[in-house]
A = this chain, B = another copy of it.
Amino acid sequence: MSTRREAVKQALNEASGFRSAQDLYADLRAEGSKIGLTTVYRALQALSDSGEVDVLRTDEGEAVYRACASDSHHHHLVCRGCGRAVEVEGPAVEKWAEAVGAKHGFTDVTHTVEVFGTCADCSARVN
């Protein structure tokens, strides 16, 4: 793994939640790195290919990334306000997805689940 890629991964680790490629680029430039935007994208693609980071899409279609503690299957509870994310598991959901797929004759069933909310800190901040 190259130095640049390490830098991107570390920037992701330091962030508490999901960040877009552009965010990370800005972060890295802000701390003095001379990295290019292209390289950030390449690094993120490589990291997500190797399963080291999770990717998801915002409603606006932007891809956002996060370094995940766990490498097993899990989902995220994401704060709408600050982007902070908690990894959660849901065996019930896994089973349900599998069952619902089978019931309709679908094979090779996968699923995406994201839970959004406002975290305690953020709702306190508003008041």
Contacts and interface: CB of A to CB of B under 8 A. Distances in A.
Contacts of A79: 106
Q: What copy number does this chain have within its complex?
A: 2
Contacts of A108: 80, 117-118, 123
A11 interface: no
Contact of A116 (B88, B109, B115, B120): B109
Interface residues of A, number: 35
A100 B90 contact: yes
A66 to B, nearest CB: 16
Interface in A31-71: 57, 59, 61-63
Contacts of A88: 100, 104
